[in-house]
């Protein structure tokens, strides 16, 4: 795949976020889903930051221990992060963190069921979203595991802000770490 420009990556992130939000909104038009709470508190922020930091540390471990994941992550992140400026990493955290969590943990999880079936199914869908080619299967496996962690915390806390904060923190920390190394 040819390298993308900064503008192409930013537009793709924005369009993807918009499409995911529209899918979630249309889903809500046809299904009466009880959304999870979005109550902000210090504990919620702490839980989100702790989960996001834990996911980032686990990803760093996987990166070192699983060569296929390292290759897959580098391929994906080089395509997405290489053209971006440091200030753009804020968008890398916010856009996917908000739109993906709203769809997968905010709408899909309660629609399927606030139970382990819902967590597993929404996590599999989340993983598939990160498939950009068959050689990317290790990245999809990792994204599915991350989806399980995010969905589990949404289920345990009953608060959508926990996975949103965790997703934003994970994307920000991972992006900054990757950008420093490359």
Domain boundaries of the chain, sorted by first residue: 6-181
Q: Are 160 and 38 in contact (CB under 8 A)?
A: yes
pLDDT in tens, 30-75: 998 999 999 999 999 999 999 999 999 999 999 999 999 999 998 8
Q: Are 98 and 169 in contact (CB under 8 A)?
A: no
Q: Are 47 and 157 in contact (CB under 8 A)?
A: yes
Residue 1: count of CB within 10 angstroms of its CB: 7
How confident is the prediction along the chain (182 residues), in pLDDT tens digits per residue? 678 999 999 999 999 999 999 999 999 999 989 999 999 999 999 999 999 999 999 999 999 999 999 999 988 888 899 999 999 999 999 999 999 999 999 999 999 999 999 999 999 999 999 988 888 899 999 999 999 999 999 999 999 999 999 999 999 999 999 999 88
Both structure tokens of 123: 């996590």
pTM of the model as a whole: 0.94
């Amino acid at each position: 795949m040819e390298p993308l420009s900064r503008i192409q990556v930013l537009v793709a992130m924005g369009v993807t976020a918009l499409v995911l939000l529209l899918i979630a909104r249309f889903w809500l038009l046809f299904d009466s889903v009880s959304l999870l709470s979005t109550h902000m508190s210090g504990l919620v922020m702490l839980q989100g930051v702790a989960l996001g930091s834990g996911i980032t540390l686990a990803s760093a471990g996987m990166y070192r221990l699983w060569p296929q994941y390292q290759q897959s992550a580098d391929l994906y992140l080089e395509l997405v992060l290489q053209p971006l400026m440091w200030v753009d990493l804020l968008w890398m955290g916010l856009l996917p963190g908000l739109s993906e969590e709203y769809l997968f943990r905010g709408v899909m999880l309660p629609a399927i069921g606030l139970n382990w079936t819902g967590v597993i199914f929404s996590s599999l869908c989340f993983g598939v979203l990160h498939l950009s080619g068959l050689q990317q299967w290790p990245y999809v496996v990792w994204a599915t595991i991350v989806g399980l962690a995010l969905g589990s915390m949404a289920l345990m806390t009953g608060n959508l802000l926990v996975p949103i904060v965790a997703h934003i923190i994970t994307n920000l920390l991972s992006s900054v770490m990757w950008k420093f190394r490359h």
